């Protein structure tokens, strides 16, 4: 019972200490205030279930854990929303004429390409993946990203360049493997 009480107290400190910062971070991924609130609550509840991983709620490790969990929750929300839009579009297009069926097929192929890209990005380390999302999907400049991660714009450019090379290698390697299977 004491361990549960201790975890509740640690969670309360963590919640009060990081909630506002997590909301600001969520706004970098999600445009709607309600979605940001939902993402932060979901992330905090996930962290609450694993409070045994938190030694001190106000430590840099706790902050990093909060940021990573929130980032994953936001990305999952975005992926789910994208799948829903693609599914809605696909369901409507299936009943359409031949020309519209071609458009549907193109959307499906594009969805598969996005899924392949998401899987490749997930293989990168967390910080690099976050930088890629911020730069390419959300239009942040290298200077803005550098400020967030305590790096220079040049260092961010170098990280992004290396990430592009790694993704190219992963994606081309995956395409070659698929051809060999056929």
Domains of the chain: 123-182 (1.10.10.10)
From 121, 11, 3, 142, select the one nearest 65 (Cα to Cα): 11
Residue 156's pLDDT is: 93
pLDDT of residue 165 exceeding 70, the answer is: yes
Cβ contact 80:39 at 8 Å: no
Cα dihedral 61→65→67→70 (10° resolution): -170
Token pair recorded at residue 2: 């004491």
Query: Where is mean pLDDT largest: 1-15, 42-56, 143-157?
Result: 143-157
Nearest in space to 67 (alpha carbons), one of 110, 105, 103, 21: 21
Q: Judge contact between 96 and 51, C-beta under 8 A.
A: no
Please give the mean pLDDT across all residues of the chain: 78
Cβ proximity of 85 and 40 under 8 Å: no
The band of 182, judged by pLDDT with boundaries at 50, 70 and 90, is very low
Q: For residue 95, what are the CA distances in angstroms to 22, 108, 133?
A: 43, 15, 35
CA angle 23, 29, 33 (to 5 degrees): 50
């Amino acid at each position: 019972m004491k361990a549960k009480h201790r975890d509740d107290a640690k969670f309360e400190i963590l919640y009060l200490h990081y909630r506002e910062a997590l909301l600001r971070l969520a706004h970098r991924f999600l445009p709607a205030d309600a979605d940001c609130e939902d993402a932060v609550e979901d992330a905090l509840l996930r962290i609450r279930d694993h409070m045994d991983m938190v030694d001190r709620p106000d430590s840099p490790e706790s902050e990093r854990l909060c940021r990573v969990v929130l980032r994953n929750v936001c990305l999952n929300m975005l992926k789910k929303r994208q799948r829903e839009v693609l599914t809605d579009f696909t369901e409507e297009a299936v009943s359409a004429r031949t020309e519209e069926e071609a458009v549907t097929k193109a959307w499906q192929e594009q969805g598969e390409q996005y899924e392949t890209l998401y899987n490749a990005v997930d293989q990168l380390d967390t910080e690099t993946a976050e930088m890629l999302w911020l730069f390419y999907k959300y239009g942040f400049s290298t200077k803005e990203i550098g400020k967030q991660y305590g790096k220079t714009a040049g260092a961010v450019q170098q990280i992004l360049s290396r990430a592009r090379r790694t993704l190219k290698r992963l994606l081309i390697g995956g395409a070659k493997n698929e051809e060999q299977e056929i």
